[in-house]
Structure 1
């Protein structure tokens, strides 16, 4: 019988292979490759964060730093991609005529170009190759077998931190603080989503339900975040005209809609059926 941590290690190796594959596709400018590579980086970082006390710090702490570096490079490109896509959606409804939005469109295109100019040489460089080699060496655990109880405890900690941020957002009347807490909840939902995915072979359907619930939270708050980032970006456009103001109104509505939708998403996710097993060390997956 394999030790409980071994399926996590196998999942890790699959993600490292995916990262290497997506890196090659980014260099070829394949559609959606930057997004998929960024998600893979997040998956790897999430596992290193969730299981941090159970891992060999001498190996994993440098990996955390290097994955953060790579994620930032990918994020510069991907964020511009997302904003440009939202602009194209707006333009499809409002026509291609010249407006104040043109300056925003040009700025985002330039941001994406500059981001790729920083990213591509790194993906073909020694630092990235060294990172892939280090990741491919596999996870090193600080104990020979941390066991299910230890893995479950780390997942429980992540869930409770996300729940605390979600509850804090729901219980504040201050709009700015609410958005800040939603942002924290989104980051923590991503971590529990990917960490639960990594433990699916250990905890079975319990982990699947947890990952699905966290993903629903992540998706809803991701919609909110995308709209909020666009609102912030629109605010940097000098001399806004009617088109810019219309775009701003569209994005504000999108943000409000996502925020309002969160209550029902959180109610469905925050059920004992989803997370109760995390507090029951002897619970068995069904």
Structure 2
């Protein structure tokens, strides 16, 4: 393919259309809409970051700032939503009866409602409409066409940063530091995944295979992150009862299990079959 700018631009426009479609569903409180909108924002932010040297930064930096603003609004709602779902599943398995878990779930419901109260007006604001309009034209390249070599180089850089983040996690001095560094691994994996997805029509199966590998890393460490956030939230309960303590044990076990799974997931992802094509 001689002009990779075109398929990347088409992918970008698809994401912008999806972003606005999900925003309408968020306003209607459709299930999973906040999550999907947040993922779409992440895709756009990731591509702007990955291809930054190839883009007109005077135009993209304001876009990145506005997408960060939108991501923060969505994150406030989605984080509470995820925790509530985890609590609901746990409570369903442990029978009826009032416990500290019920109080925690009510607090999270209130947090989610407050987040929606901040988010919804913004999705019907001039600021949001201006963002959609600015995104609609596609990423503003600094050259007529960046070329496959330049795009592969940017993706290779993101992959190497992911590898370095995994190495740093392996060298962590203690368990807490390792988990903090694994959180960075997750963020780097997302960057690789979304950049590779944007290049699916340019590099075909190679990009798709890399995106799937990065997704598996992101998903596994996402399980770890969800458990870690829940553990932190439980730590804020002023007077934990037996149910809260049992929930804490369950979440700690879930975090340990996700961390253990990561080793095999990374081994599978870090194969030359997956990333060898990125080499110069």
Secondary structure of the residue aligned to 1:96 is: coil
> Normalising by structure 2, what TM-score?
0.98
Match of residue 216 from structure 1: 216
Secondary structure of the residue aligned to 2:240 is: coil
**Number of residues paired by the alignment?**
280
Match of residue 202 from structure 1: 202
Separation in structure 2 between the aligned mates of residue 279 and residue 242 of structure 1, nearest angstrom: 54
Summarize deviations over 1:82-141 as a string: whole Å, max 9, x none.
Answer: 000000010011112111112211110000000000000000111000000000122110
Query: Is the aligned partner of 1:43 residue 2:43?
Result: yes
Secondary structure of the residue aligned to 1:261 is: helix
Separation in structure 2 between the aligned mates of residue 85 and residue 10 of structure 1, nearest angstrom: 35
Query: Is the aligned partner of 1:170 residue 2:160?
Result: no
Separation in structure 1 between the aligned mates of residue 225 and residue 96 of structure 2, nearest angstrom: 26
Runs of 4+, deviation exceeding 4 Å: none
Separation in structure 2 between the aligned mates of residue 36 and residue 229 of structure 1, nearest angstrom: 20
Separation in structure 1 between the aligned mates of residue 150 and residue 254 of structure 2, nearest angstrom: 40
Residues 103 and 237 in structure 1, CA contact (< 8 A), matched pair in contact too: no
Secondary structure of the residue aligned to 1:17 is: helix
Aligned-pair CA distance for 1:167: 1.8
Secondary structure of the residue aligned to 2:143 is: coil
Match of residue 8 from structure 2: 8
Match of residue 82 from structure 1: 82
Separation in structure 2 between the aligned mates of residue 77 and residue 250 of structure 1, nearest angstrom: 24
Match of residue 266 from structure 2: 266
Summarize deviations over 1:138-193 as a string: whole Å, max 9, x none.
Answer: 21101111111110110011011111111221233411110111000000101110
Match of residue 255 from structure 1: 255
Separation in structure 1 between the aligned mates of residue 127 and residue 42 of structure 2, nearest angstrom: 18
Summarize deviations over 1:195-248 as a string: whole Å, max 9, x none.
Answer: 100001111111011001000000000000000000000000011111000000
Separation in structure 2 between the aligned mates of residue 137 and residue 172 of structure 1, nearest angstrom: 43
Separation in structure 1 between the aligned mates of residue 158 and residue 124 of structure 2, nearest angstrom: 35
Query: Is the aligned partner of 1:26 residue 2:22?
Result: no
RMSD: 0.9
Separation in structure 2 between the aligned mates of residue 65 and residue 89 of structure 1, nearest angstrom: 36
Separation in structure 2 between the aligned mates of residue 106 and residue 239 of structure 1, nearest angstrom: 15
Change in Cα spacing, 1:149 to 1:2, as seen in structure 2 (3 Å) is closer
Separation in structure 2 between the aligned mates of residue 38 and residue 172 of structure 1, nearest angstrom: 30
Match of residue 283 from structure 1: none
Unaligned runs of 5+ in 1: 281-286
Separation in structure 2 between the aligned mates of residue 35 and residue 100 of structure 1, nearest angstrom: 27
